[in-house]
């Protein structure tokens, strides 16, 4: 065989092996393509493609386009998607452990949120593994504040207000405050605000900017109630099916994405509030009475969560406070 032929045969063989091993994964995500969570994940999947030598190609489907937010966890569990991102606290009705990041006033800074994430990791991994999933990384949203269509000085001002909830904790805040909660994914929030289905919600400045909240609402109170997290997780069978090299590459890049995501969120947080103000909203700390009312709700909800999450919840809080 001539040199050229040998070289050609060798490269065809390499191609064949690559093709046989190449994995194409779908990654449903619920938030907009230009949100920093999605952009961070795009850097992650690009790096994974690179370090796997093209063997692991992950395609992001942003904005709930492949699966809606509330379908993503199940889709990954049953293998309809191999990997996905979800606000896991939205599944706290199924297991209170998923709501570890939405306990009011437990962790209210980026630093505390990362510490709580580490404290929850063993328990969350155990719970996810039992559902055939493996958590890869999680990234915080900025601290949660309250959006209203009027000035609010105490809960007396919000009785009966229609409130958008994104998980059990936000629905409970509304109930305890005397508001009327409706569960609405971020992808449907703008429509709900525009049509008056809701006129208030709790979220970060990030989502307020994504939704151009100033077009529908007037006040943001920076309550710093908690920092919920989006978690990226993978179907455990899909993970086991990877080559050792691809699996290592995925896990290494996940660790980088987690650190990068926290840093990015912290860097952007202040600017989001500036944008709300630039849009015309009043951005303020909650006044004395509203702050006291929220603390009282927080204390009730902390007791309720500890009660419902049992030993798993206790393990998370103990590890966090250590
Ligand atoms: N934005 C997401 C969850 C928390 C946040 O800041 C949302 O409102 O859906």
Q: State the average pLDDT for the chain.
A: 95
Read off the pLDDT band of 237 (50, 70, 90): very high
State whether the beta carbon of 207 lies less than 6 angstroms from ligand 1. yes
Q: Is the pLDDT of residue 15 over 60?
A: no
For the stretch 114-119, contacts whose Cβ atoms lie closer than 8 Å and that sit 24 or more positions apart, written own/partner, are 114/140, 114/262, 115/320, 116/316, 116/320, 117/229, 118/319, 119/316, 119/317, 119/319, 119/320, 119/322
Q: Is the pLDDT of residue 1 over 50?
A: no
The residue written with tokens 């929030």 in the block is 189
CA of 242 to the centre of ligand 1 (A): 32
Lowest mean pLDDT of 14-28, 187-201, 215-229, 298-312, name the range: 14-28
Residue 221: strand pairing partners: 146, 284
Per DSSP, the three-state class of 54 is coil
Q: Is the pLDDT of residue 3 over 80?
A: no
CA of 238 to the centre of ligand 1 (A): 28
Tell me how far CA of residue 200 lies from CA of 64, 156, 290, in angstroms. Answer: 22, 15, 15
Read off the pLDDT band of 260 (50, 70, 90): very high
pLDDT score for 10:
54
CA distance 84 to 31: 12
User: At a CB cut-off of 8 Å and minimum separation 6, what does 249 contact?
Assistant: 48, 51, 52, 56
- For a pocket test of ligand 1, which of 38, 70, 72, 87 has the largest count of ligand atoms closer than 8 A to its C-beta? 87
State whether the beta carbon of 35 lies less than 6 angstroms from ligand 1. no
Minimum CA distance residue for ligand 1 atom 8: 203
Burial (CB count within 10 angstroms: exposed 0-12, middle 13-18, buried 19+), residue 272: buried
Maximum C-alpha span of the chain: 88
86: phi then psi, degrees, rounded to nearest 5: -150, 150
Read off the pLDDT band of 5 (50, 70, 90): low
CA of 178 to the centre of ligand 1 (A): 21
Q: Is the pLDDT of residue 33 over 90?
A: yes
Asked if 107 and 101 count as a contact pair (C-beta separation under 8 A), the reply is yes
Ligand 1 atom with the smallest distance to the CA of 206 is: 6
CA distance 180 to 178: 7
CA of 204 to the centre of ligand 1 (A): 6
- Nearest Cα residue to 22 out of 240, 242, 232: 242
Per DSSP, the three-state class of 222 is coil
Alpha helices in the chain (DSSP H): 3-21, 36-51, 69-77, 110-129, 168-177, 186-194, 205-210, 236-240, 244-278, 288-321
Ligand 1 atom with the smallest distance to the CA of 144 is: 6
Percent of the chain's residues with pLDDT above 90: 93
CA of 38 to the centre of ligand 1 (A): 13
CA distance 257 to 42: 10
CA of 203 to the centre of ligand 1 (A): 5
The whole-number average pLDDT for the span 202-225 is 98
- For a pocket test of ligand 1, which of 207, 223, 230, 266 has the largest count of ligand atoms closer than 8 A to its C-beta? 207
The whole-number average pLDDT for the span 292-308 is 98
State whether the beta carbon of 102 lies less than 6 angstroms from ligand 1. no
Asked if 98 and 88 count as a contact pair (C-beta separation under 8 A), the reply is yes
pLDDT score for 7:
55
299: phi then psi, degrees, rounded to nearest 5: -65, -45
State whether the beta carbon of 166 lies less than 6 angstroms from ligand 1. yes
**pLDDT tens digits along 94-153:** 999 999 999 999 999 999 999 999 999 999 999 999 999 999 999 999 999 999 999 999
Asked if 186 and 210 count as a contact pair (C-beta separation under 8 A), the reply is yes
Asked if 171 and 99 count as a contact pair (C-beta separation under 8 A), the reply is no
pLDDT score for 16:
47
The residue written with tokens 């493609």 in the block is 49
């Amino acid at each position: 065989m001539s040199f050229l032929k040998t070289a050609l045969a060798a490269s065809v063989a390499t191609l064949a092996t690559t093709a046989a091993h190449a994995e194409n994964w779908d990654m449903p995500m619920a938030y907009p393509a230009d949100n920093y969570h999605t952009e961070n994940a795009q850097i992650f999947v690009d790096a994974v493609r690179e370090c796997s030598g093209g063997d692991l190609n992950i395609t992001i489907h942003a904005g709930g386009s492949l699966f809606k937010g509330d379908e993503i966890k199940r889709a990954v569990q049953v293998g309809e998607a191999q990997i996905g991102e979800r606000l896991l606290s939205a599944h706290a009705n199924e297991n209170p452990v998923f709501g570890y990041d939405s306990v009011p006033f437990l962790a209210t800074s980026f630093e505390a949120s990362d510490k709580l994430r580490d404290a929850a990791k063993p328990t969350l991994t155990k719970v996810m593994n039992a559902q055939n999933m493996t958590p890869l990384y999680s990234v915080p949203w900025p601290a949660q504040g309250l959006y209203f269509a009027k000035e609010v000085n105490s809960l007396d001002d919000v009785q009966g207000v229609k409130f958008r909830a994104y998980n059990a904790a936000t629905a409970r805040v509304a109930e305890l405050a005397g508001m009327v909660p409706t569960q609405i994914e971020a992808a449907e929030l703008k429509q709900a605000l525009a049509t008056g289905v809701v006129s208030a919600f709790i979220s970060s400045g990030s989502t307020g900017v994504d939704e151009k909240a100033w077009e529908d609402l007037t006040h943001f109170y920076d309550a710093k109630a908690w920092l919920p997290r989006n978690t990226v997780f993978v179907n455990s069978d899909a993970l086991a099916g990877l080559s050792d090299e691809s699996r290592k590459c995925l896990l290494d890049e996940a660790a980088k994405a987690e650190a990068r995501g926290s840093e990015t969120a912290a860097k952007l947080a202040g600017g989001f509030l500036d944008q709300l103000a630039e849009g015309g909203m009043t951005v303020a700390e909650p006044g004395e009475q509203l702050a006291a009312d929220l603390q009282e709700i927080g204390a009730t909800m902390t007791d309720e969560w500890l009660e419902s999450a049992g030993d798993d919840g206790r393990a998370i809080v103990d590890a966090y406070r250590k």
